[in-house]
Amino acid sequence: MPVVPMKDLLDRALAERYGVPAFNVVNDLTVEAVLAAAAEERSPVVLQTSVKTVRAYGRRQLFDVVATMARDVDVPVTLHLDHCPDRAVISDCLAGGWNSVLFDAHELDVAENLRQTTEVVAEAHARGAHVEGEIEGIQGVEDGIGSDDAPVVQTLEVAVDFIQRTGVDCFAPAIGNAHGQYTAAPVLDHQRVSDLVAATGVPMALHGGTGLSAEQFQDLIARGCAKVNISTALKQVFLQSSLEFLREAETRGKWDPPSFFAHQRTAVKDMAAEHMRTFGSSGRAW
């Protein structure tokens, strides 16, 4: 039974200090390629979907694609909804089989965010699903959600109180990380991750994974980032490998869709496998 609760995946990763990669998949090909990498690496994996992808595919169709492809893969897999400020989409995905959701209410004040996140946690837990919480916003726009402005960072006390009172299963802190490619080397507040984990025992989600170095990943994972998000790297490798193939096809005057798909799949699979090795999740499947 490969589909497992998010909490099982993350609590184990936190205890053993490796990072579970969470890839923002965009279609059936990327779902299959990431799962193939996980199977080959014997790595647990999170498949996450943006609200935009859920809307583009249709919730039921997207769930069916993931469920069908995960069925025969013999490693732990979890389906997660990335940054979602919309309670209706949260409820729809929880009812539709998602194992976990990021209720992104950072645009609300912390008190209202806390009140609503507590409700989302109750709703998710009643279904055996889990919740990632966020109070600060992660810099950069991810599939139409977010802002390029630097977020207002809350104090450690406010963040710890939010985590403890809401009962979230995972928390996404702002530590100088950002979605998309970094335009300058990020200065990360590593200590904040250590402090949050020491105070709460809750695994952290590292957003903005694309562009961080192996040393940065490994340091943050050792401090308690048990979920590591990768979106831009997947989109880039998927589209750049496509462009490369299509340019070559045009030059040679040969148009063969199955070779095109195989080329895209290899590029996405290799990118995913490399992250699994960097995050120490290879060989951790149970």
List the beta bridge partners of residue 204.
171, 225
Position of tokens 């992104």?
104
Q: Among 209, 220, 267, 271, which residue sits at the site for ligand 13P (rule: CB under 6 A)?
A: 209
Per the rule left: phi > 0, alpha: psi between -120 and 50, beta: everything else, 123 is alpha
- Verify whether residue 82 is a known catalytic residue: yes
Half-sphere exposure of 274 (CA within 13 A, CB side): 13
Interface positions, 145-204, toward ligand 13P (CB under 6 A): 179-180
Q: Is 78 in the site for ligand 13P (CB under 6 A)?
A: no
Residues at the binding site for dihydroxyacetone phosphate are: 180, 208-210, 229-232
> Tell me, what amino acid is at 214?
A
By C-beta, is 46 or 197 nearer to ligand 13P?
Answer: 46
Nearest to 20 by CA among 1, 6, 32, 33: 6
CB of 107 closer than 8 Å to CB of 137: yes
Residues at the binding site for Zn(2+) are: 83, 104, 134, 179, 207
What is the C-alpha R_g of the chain? 18
CB of 281 closer than 8 Å to CB of 23: no
By C-beta, is 106 or 207 nearer to ligand 13P?
Answer: 207
Count of residues near ligand 13P by CB under 6 A: 15
Of the listed pieces 104-112, 116-124, 206-214, 256-264, which binds ligand 13P according to CB under 6 A? Answer: 206-214
For the bound state, the minimum distance from the C-beta of residue 255 to ligand 13P, rounded and expressed in Å, comes to 31
Q: Among 10, 24, 124, 218, which residue sits at the site for ligand 13P (rule: CB under 6 A)?
A: 24
**From 28, 64, 72, 82, active-site residue:** 82
- Which residues lie closer than 8 Å to 125 by C-beta, 6 or more apart? 131, 167
CB of 23 closer than 8 Å to CB of 256: no
CB of 174 closer than 8 Å to CB of 212: no
Of the listed pieces 8-16, 32-40, 125-133, 229-237, which binds ligand 13P according to CB under 6 A? Answer: 229-237
For the bound state, the minimum distance from the C-beta of residue 189 to ligand 13P, rounded and expressed in Å, comes to 16
Active site residues: 82
Binding site for ligand 13P (CB under 6 A): 24, 82-83, 142, 179-180, 207-210, 229-233
